[in-house]
Chains A and B, each alone.
Chain A
Amino acid sequence: MTIDNSMQISFELNGSMRRARVEPHERLIDLLRDVLGETGTKEGCGEGECGACTVLVEGRAVNSCLFPAPEVEGLRVVTIEGLCGEGLQLSPVQAAFLEGGATQCGFCTPGMVVSTVALLGENPAPSASDIRNALTGNLCRCTGYVQIVEAIQSAAAKLSAGGEA
């Protein structure tokens, strides 16, 4: 006979309380994408190597492919969808990426943007080298990272003039 180890959790996702029944071994990315239908978060490797699945848990960037879903019980989770403003409005980091040409195929982009928000939360005025080091866990095959680094510097400058990431 099979034993049901699943548990009920509730957590805040992009500003709304969500409830879900999860298995002990369930990955946060599967909860977000497959159960809750928030497909903005991408799975690029499933092993924590590429960063495409990066989300914020209590403001900290984590690889949702490695993060156990039950662990978000009672916590605040923000995904790429949650960074957008009212309606179709992009957040300053997203807008800087768009205007700076920092997205190409776009598959790494949600993770890259979420990692950037986490970085700017810790270091509002990062140097190019700070940015490069902070993003080593977010792989991109299209851009060569040049316009990503430029976009992040531009976002940082705009944010330091007032605004929220």
Chain B
Amino acid sequence: MSELRHVGQAAPRPEGADKLAGRTRYIHDIKRPGMLYGKIKYAEHAHARILNVDTSKAERLPGVKAVLTAYDTPELRIGFLRDNFALKRDKVRQFRDEVAAVAAIDPDIARQAVELIEVEYEPLPGVFSVEEALADGAPLVHETDARGRPLTTNRLALEFSHDSGDVDAACSAAAHVVEREYTVPRVQQSCMGTAGCIAEFDGRGNLEMLVKTQIPFLAQRDYARALAALGLADKSVRVIVPALGGGFGTGLDTHVYEYIAILLAWRAGKPVKILFERDEEFAFLSPRQSAVTRIRQGCDAEGKLLFRHLEVSQDNGAYTSWGATFPSVMLMPATSLYRVPNVRFESRIVYTNNTYCQAMRGYGNPEVTLPIESSLDELAEAAGIDPLDMRRINTNRPGDVTPMGLKIGTCGLEECLDKTAGRIDWRAKHGRQRALKRGVGMASLIHVGGGGKIYRSDGSGIILKLDDYGTVNVNYGGVEMGQGLHAALTAMVAEALGVLPARVVINQTDTATCPWDVGTHASRGAFMAGNAAILASDKLRVQIFEWAERIYPVEVAKAIARAGAEGKAADVPTGFDFESVGRERFDLKDGWLFVRDAPDHPVFRISLGKLLRAAHFPPEGDPSTVFAAEAFYEPPTQLPDWKKGVGNMSANYTFGTQGVEVEVDVETGDVKILALAFALDVGRVLNPQTLAGQVYGGIAQGVGYALYEEVKTDRGRILNPNFTDYKIPSAADIDFPIELDFIETDDPSGPFGAKGVGEPGLVPTAPAIANAIYDAVGVRITDLPITPEKVLAALIEKQRPACPGAPTPQPLMRP
């Protein structure tokens, strides 16, 4: 595709200038006339029966306009399993349960009013780990399911499993087998812009929601259901998405606070804004799920993988979001990262009285890539094979169909392995720097690159509408949250249609103007938008060229006459029959309409704007026309059978390998990253600048996940709801060189060959670091984050003399 003009250019993002100037409007910056401020009264126990809620003092506070409890509002059931309620009636199941809410004329009054609400509880025993939740006689978090049927266990009725080949026979036949358990913590997405919404009803009872979301159309459906519960089934819902201060998965569900804003706005008859402060974001917005994974893998004497068996236990918390379906994505690396013929995957998802969890970038993938890639290094050691060679022996290849049924089309994994190995000087360094306490490690990833079908539709619509001046207005229902969707889409529309990027304007995401889209998740934004844009551009070009067939002779004749009037008639080439050009001979590039085989002279090309304006005044007898096209792209994928764990969920798969060099301070346990390299099969680079930015950011999140991020809790209470106690990487922490290599495999399913790349950055970082630590000092840390305390404890443990026959010694220092 050497003729690409805009795709592949490092153009600054189109919305960037406003962000730099402070002009961009986030939910934080928006006020509506008469707007009230909502605040929520949260539970004071992790598990308790509600005996009484007294709101009388709050109601008497001047400036309070509405006070709500479950007792005076219709029941709104929400969540993936509809096991959550906007306001809690009988009991609370987590510290962040919403018991009451107020709306007041300013945030301070709302805050005071919440403090005046008195709730009496009867505390109940709680369960705070998978083990506690599944113990005999454990208290039930939910006594019934959403339909009122009694529950007898805290285990959710969600099944994600896989069993292909004969894992047991392969295990017996394997020359080498390793097994170990790995733990990953709850982590906070930590968007710099906190969550918020404004709910507003108009005089007809229609709802307008300005909301920080990644799923405007699924949210519209959810809110419409809420309106139905309010007796407003015939009213419409419009969802408008302001600029997002980061998403990272937090917007994949509708949230309780949004429903409370709707209830308050309906009660008060005024717009109501609820905006989380940072401590609320930490304590009351769902983090990424924690998981414990037991993995067993085996290979033959030559290092060929024979089987893989994973058992995942996930602490769901008290309610169920889309994030509970992480195992749907875990199935992909479990079955399909490297060639492995026999795979068993078992998962259990369990209610506890911890905070309920939700999606975050990678959606289950990093949780199991840590065990898979750590275990692979262990297996390589057991087999006496270099970990790089182990990976090369088992690499996925184009044309593979994996046990899950994933059809691997293009696959740059082997090239990624080699690139990364070269960048970190693997052959010279691996196993050779222990005296320096330095080591290198690597880990790879597979991720969906062509959408991820975990819902009945994985489609996206787009509308392209041309104005009289050749500007393309793009109405697309996906969400720009910083990832660079608008930069990629601008280039793709310009390329596909034949206009300059400066003439592409992407409108605000709004359910009233944009066609349906399932949501911006699963690294699908640019892939889906691009494919839809190409379809719509093709339609629009047909419209333009049909019109050109009629108007081109008229406009060229005028141009020739003008040239004559200016005395330049002699410059106009003759012999070109411009009066009967068929539509198939036209082309459009950078906003100019021309005939492919016309002489190269200005009279023979027409600016798109001129062509479009002329359409209002067609030659006599011709109908006028408008220029707009819509298209809906649905990728050629399958919704997997989750119990069997089989189905080709994406139109293509993204592969990559990260390599890292670390130095471990054996006195303190500190891990210092010296260098990191990442080779990623992106299909096609749409914009090298925004692509690199997104990948760098993913790597930084991966470093945080690996080394320090953890939402700490004590019996369900979050202990570190701020950036001092919950550390995310600062500029000083990312002080090592990062080398990126983008491998272009030109995937036929992708727009211009591109694959989705939003999530991969953070997926392999933690296992690459864990493997490098092992190479440096010979200890394997199996639970994230890899804190200095854990490294030190493992080093001390390693130095204790082995005592044959004695029970496994415990570490001296407990992390």
A residues at B contact (CB < 8 Å): 33, 38-47, 49-50, 52, 79-81, 84, 88, 90, 94-95, 97-110, 113, 129, 131-133, 135-149
List 21 A-B pairs, Cβ < 8 Å. Answer: A39-B29, A42-B28, A42-B245, A43-B28, A47-B278, A49-B278, A50-B278, A52-B192, A101-B10, A101-B692, A103-B20, A106-B245, A107-B192, A131-B731, A132-B731, A132-B734, A133-B732, A141-B701, A144-B693, A147-B689, A147-B693
A81 touches B730 (CB 8 A): no
Residue pair B729, A107 in contact (C-beta under 8 Å): no
Q: A106-B245, A141-B191, A144-B699 are in contact. Are A101 and B693 (CB under 8 A)?
A: yes
B469 within 8 Å of A (CB atoms): no
Q: Is B182 part of the contact surface with A, judged by Cβ < 8 Å?
A: no
Among B483, B690, B696, point to the contact of A146 (Cβ < 8 A). B696
Q: In whole angstroms, how far apart are the Cα atoms of A99 and B728 in the complex? A: 26
- What residues on A are CB-neighbors of B244 within 8 Å? 105
Cα A80 to Cα B693 with chains together (Å) = 22
A81 B278 Cβ-Cβ under 8 A = no
Q: Is the CB of A90 within 8 A of B192?
A: no
* A56 to B731 alpha-carbon distance, docked (Å): 20
How many Å from the CB of A5 to the closest CB on chain B? 15
Indicate which residue in A45, A98, A146 contacts B16 across the interface (CB closer than 8 Å): A98
The reply to whether A101 and B690 contact each other, CB–CB distance below 8 Å, is yes
Q: How far is the CA of A95 from the CA of B16 in the complex (A)?
A: 10
Complex interface: chain A residues within 8 A of B693 (CB): 101-102, 104, 142-144, 146-147
Pick the most buried of B24, B277, B484: most chain A CB atoms within 10 A of its CB: B24
Most buried by A among B193, B248, B277, B724: B193
- Is A139 within 8 A of B697, CB to CB? no
**Beyond the given A107-B191, A144-B734, A147-B696, could you list 15 further A-B residue pairs with CB under 8 A, ordered by the A residue number?**
A39-B22, A46-B277, A49-B722, A101-B689, A103-B13, A107-B246, A131-B731, A138-B731, A139-B192, A141-B191, A141-B701, A143-B696, A144-B699, A146-B696, A146-B738
With the chains together, A95 CA to B722 CA distance in Å? 32
Interface residues of B in 5-64 (CB under 8 A from A): 10, 12-13, 15-26, 28-29
CB neighbours (8 Å) of B193 from chain A are 42, 44, 105, 107
In the complex, are the beta carbons of A141 and B248 less than 8 A apart?
Answer: yes
With A131-B731, A136-B730, A147-B692: A50-B24 Cβ-Cβ less than 8 Å: no
Contact B731 A81 (CB under 8 A): no
Contact in complex: A141, B20 (CB < 8 Å):
no
* B243: interface (CB < 8 Å): yes
Which residues on the A side are within 8 Å of B690 (C-beta)?
A: 101
Q: Is the CB of A80 within 8 A of B22?
A: yes
Q: A141-B192, A141-B697 are in contact. Are A42 and B26 (CB under 8 A)?
A: yes
On whether the beta carbons of A98 and B245 are closer than 8 Å, the reply is: no
Taken together as a complex, chains A and B put the C-alpha atoms of A36 and B190 apart, in Å, by: 28
| Among candidates B21, B689, B731, residue contacting A80 with C-beta atoms closer than 8 Å | B21
Known: A101-B693, A141-B246, A146-B734. Is A79-B22 also a contact (CB below 8 A)? yes
Residues of B230-248 whose CB lies within 8 A of A: 243-248
Q: Given the complex of chains A and B, what is the CA–CA distance between A73 and B676 in angstroms?
A: 49
Q: In the complex, A133→B192 CA distance in Å?
A: 20
Please pick, from B20, B248, B735, the residue contacting A90 in the complex, using a CB distance under 8 A.
Answer: B20
Q: Which residue of A lies closest to B275 (CB)?
A: A43
Are A106 and B482 closer than 8 Å at their CB atoms?
yes
Query: Interface residue tally of chain B, by bracket?
Result: 35 or more
B700 within 8 A of A: yes
The answer to whether A105 and B481 have CB atoms under 8 Å apart is: yes
Measured between beta carbons, the chain B residues less than 8 angstroms from A145 are 696, 700, 729-731, 734
CA distance A97 to B423 in the complex (A): 28
Q: How far is the CB of A92 from chain B (nearest CB, A)?
A: 11
Contact pick for A39, options B17, B20, B28, CB 8 Å: B28
Q: Which of A99, A107, A113 has the most CB of B within 10 A?
A: A107
The yes or no answer to B723 lying at the interface (CB within 8 A) is yes
CB of B782 within 8 Å of the partner chain: no
Whole-angstrom distance between the alpha carbons of A23 and B21 in the complex? Answer: 29
Which residues of chain A are within 8 angstroms of B484 by Cβ–Cβ distance?
104
Summed over the interface, the residue pairs from A and B with CB atoms below 8 Å come to a total of 177
Interface residues of B (CB under 8 A from A): 10, 12-13, 15-26, 28-29, 189-194, 243-248, 277-278, 481-484, 689-690, 692-694, 696-701, 722-724, 728-732, 734-735, 738
Whether A132 and B24, one on each chain, are in contact in the complex, defined by CB atoms closer than 8 angstroms, is no
A49 to B282, CA, bound (A): 14
Q: Is B192 a contact of A144 with CB atoms below 8 Å?
A: no
Give the residue among B12, B22, B23, B278 with the most A Cβ atoms within 10 A: B22
CA–CA, A59 to B192, complex, Å? 25
Q: How far is the CB of A114 from chain B (nearest CB, A)?
A: 9
| Bound CA span A146–B731, Å | 8
Q: CB distance B731 to A103 under 8 Å?
A: no
Tell me, rounded to whole Å, the shortest Cβ–Cβ distance linking A117 to chain B.
12
Closest to B10 in A: A101
Docked Cα-Cα span, A54 to B793, in Å, equals 40
Interchain CB contact under 8 A, A132 and B735: yes
The CA-CA distance from A140 to B19 in the complex, in Å, is 14
| Bound-complex Cα distance A105 to B732 (A) | 20
Q: Are B13 and A101 in contact (CB under 8 A)?
A: yes
Interface contact A94-B21, CB-CB below 8 Å: yes
With contacts A43-B28, A106-B482 taken as known, whether A144 is within 8 angstroms of B696 at the C-beta atoms is: yes
Residue contact A139 to B19, C-beta cutoff 8 Å: no
Contact residue among B25, B245, B698 (Cβ-Cβ distance under 8 Å from A105) = B245
A43-B243 Cα distance, complex, nearest whole Å: 15
Whether B12 pairs with A101 at a CB distance below 8 angstroms is yes
CA distance A144 to B13 in the complex (A): 17
Please tell me if the beta carbons of B730 and A135 are within 8 angstroms of each other in the complex. Answer: yes
Cross-chain contact B738 with A40 (CB below 8 angstroms): no
User: Which A residue's beta carbon lies closest to that of B724?
Assistant: A49
Q: How far is the CA of A50 from the CA of B20 in the complex (A)?
A: 18
Q: Which listed residue (B10, B12, B19) contacts A109, Cβ 8 A?
A: B19
CB distance from A12 to the nearest CB of B (A): 18
Contact of B12 with A98 in the complex, beta carbons under 8 Å: yes
Q: Which residues of A have CB within 8 Å of B724?
A: 47, 49
Question: Contacts A47-B722, A105-B191, A107-B193 hold; do A148 and B17 have CB atoms under 8 A apart?
Answer: no
Q: Is the CB of A103 within 8 A of B21?
A: no
A107-B26 contact in complex given A139-B192, A146-B696, A147-B696, C-beta closer than 8 Å = yes
Cβ-defined contact, A109 with B20, below 8 A: yes
CB of A145, distance to nearest CB on chain B (Å):
4
What are the residues of chain A within 8 A of B245 when measuring CB–CB? Answer: 42, 105-107
Min CB gap A100→B, angstroms: 8
